[in-house]
Chains A and B, each alone.
Chain A
């Protein structure tokens, strides 16, 4: 079974630009979560989607948004990028419809904002 795939692997943007990151979950997983990881703050929860519905959201500004498609693939978007948005963005899929909290992570997208 293929793992969680995130694209692109690396991204360099400038302040004010916007960015879209993509995540393909493990086949059969309908829950996709997004996390931001920085050295100072660790792993911070962004949002979780299940069957195209956002079920929970972390404490991030509205510039961070996401969506999930009918095939469970997910995208997250960050608009008006700030220097502080530089981080590793991780996507995780899960079998949550069976009350299973095991998360399977992709390798992440390393975003650098200059």
Chain B
């Protein structure tokens, strides 16, 4: 079993839809939870960063962490064609010096 599970998709939605992306994990030592966005032929870029549990909002993006269920989510409101990319969840433990990534979900937003 992988430490981090993420459905690779692809996920196709119409412009303006609310998108929900999710990951589950097995390592209870994880305290840092991140979402990265990767466009084709580019490196991943950090989108959201959360320490421990709770919600975090940044514009159209909301990240949620539920440590009791070992489940994290990213919501995108009013999705735009420019949001079409691969979204990767990532997690790490304090002092581990290693970030583990999910497989990434390919998202297509149709105009």
Contact = CB atoms under 8 A, between A and B. Distances in A.
Given A90-B44, A107-B43, A101 B101 contact: no
B46 interface: yes
7 contacts: A42-B102, A42-B104, A43-B44, A56-B98, A101-B32, A102-B49, A103-B90
A50 B97 contact: yes
Contact of B101 (A42, A107, A108): A42
Given A42-B104, A43-B88, A45-B100, A104 B46 contact: yes
A102 to B, nearest CB: 6
Interface residues of A, number: 24
Interface of B: 32, 34, 36, 41-46, 49, 88, 90, 92, 94, 96-104
Given A58-B98, A101-B34, 14 more contacts: A42-B102, A43-B44, A43-B88, A43-B101, A43-B104, A45-B98, A90-B43, A101-B49, A102-B34, A103-B46, A105-B36, A105-B44, A107-B43, A108-B42
B97 A103 contact: no
Contacts of A43: 44, 88, 101, 104
A15 interface: no
A55 interface: yes
A64 to B, nearest CB: 15
Contacts of B96: 56
A102 B36 CA distance: 10
Interface of A: 4, 31, 33, 35, 42-43, 45, 48, 50, 55-56, 58, 90, 92, 96, 99, 101-108
Contacts of B103: 42
Contact of B98 (A48, A90, A102, A106): A48
Contacts of A105: 36, 43-45
